[in-house]
Amino acid sequence: MRAPGPLLVVAVLALAGAAGLGCGKKDPDPVEVPLNQKPPPPPEPMAPPPPEPTETASAPPPPPPTSSVKAMGGSSIESCCGELHRAARVSVKNDEAERLRQAAGVCLRAVDGVRDGSVPRARAISQIRAAASPAPVPGACR
């Protein structure tokens, strides 16, 4: 058997020496660096909270809205009908235009029911969208 080469012996000794240096010594205690010795500035004073309103000084309640929900629903259904008619006129596809015209007819029949409150707006919109399907409905009909 052959003796280990000088390069191997040097490498083993170098590793052993490096391992011995790092394991036996402890780091000295860290030096404390003095911080700014000034005390922190006092917090700025907060503004006092506004006084609580009293019952006698309270403002009158806002007036009720002048238009009812039923009237608002009717007007939005009417805008949906107008948008359907416009979309049917500008549509290039014949099948889509026919579907939109049918949906506009359903819409016109539903306006009175939504306006007087006998038909909920959501039900009318559902019927309109079903009549127009698969053609896309305008944004006013959503």
Q: What are the tens digits of pLDDT across the range 88-138?
A: 999 889 999 999 999 999 999 999 899 999 999 999 999 999 999 999 998
End-to-end CA distance of the chain: 92
What would the pLDDT profile of 65-75 be if each residue is shown by its tens digit? 444 444 444 45
121 HSE (CA, 13 A, CB side): 17
Domain ranges of the chain: 69-141
pTM of the model: 0.47
Q: Which residues contact 97 (CB under 8 A, 6 or more apart)?
A: 88, 89, 91
Instruction: Quote the CA–CA distance of 77 and 137 in Å, as a whole number.
Output: 13
